[in-house]
Amino acid sequence: MWVAFSTPEGSGFFSAVAKDERGNISGPYMGSRVCLRFRRAQDADLLRPYGMDGHVIETPGGDYRFRTFIPRNHLATTMHNLADTMNYPNFKDSIPSSDTALLDACHDVWGIMGDLQPGGPYGMG
């Protein structure tokens, strides 16, 4: 799951996958834990007030430089709290203009995902 989010404190992005600390993707405990992966350490810090309580480790050789492993229900709590505090009518407009890297990335993703829709963004067929 990819999640781009915006809070009053700032905006960020993470990827959530079913994977444990040893890299296992199956087994008796996989249903209870998830790995949150971040490109920027600050994005993990932004989630702490919303329920993300894992210890973030740096993995310089990984596809995501920062990650944490948390109980699945903590991810659910974090997502619930983010949804409860959402107060913007347009996600991209909620990203601080000073965060040009994330803003540019979200605009790029918006356009690319818009191409999935017949006629592209704003397309009618």
Starting at the earlier edge strand, list the strands of the sheet with 33-38.
Answer: 2-7, 10-17, 33-38, 66-71, 57-58
Q: Considering the entire predicted model, what is its pTM?
A: 0.88
Question: pLDDT in tens for each of the 125 residues of the chain?
Answer: 999 999 999 999 999 998 877 776 766 666 778 999 999 999 999 999 999 999 999 999 999 999 999 999 999 999 999 999 999 999 999 999 999 999 999 999 999 999 999 888 887 75
Asked whether the beta carbons of 32 and 71 are under 8 A apart, the reply is yes
Largest CA distance in the chain: 47
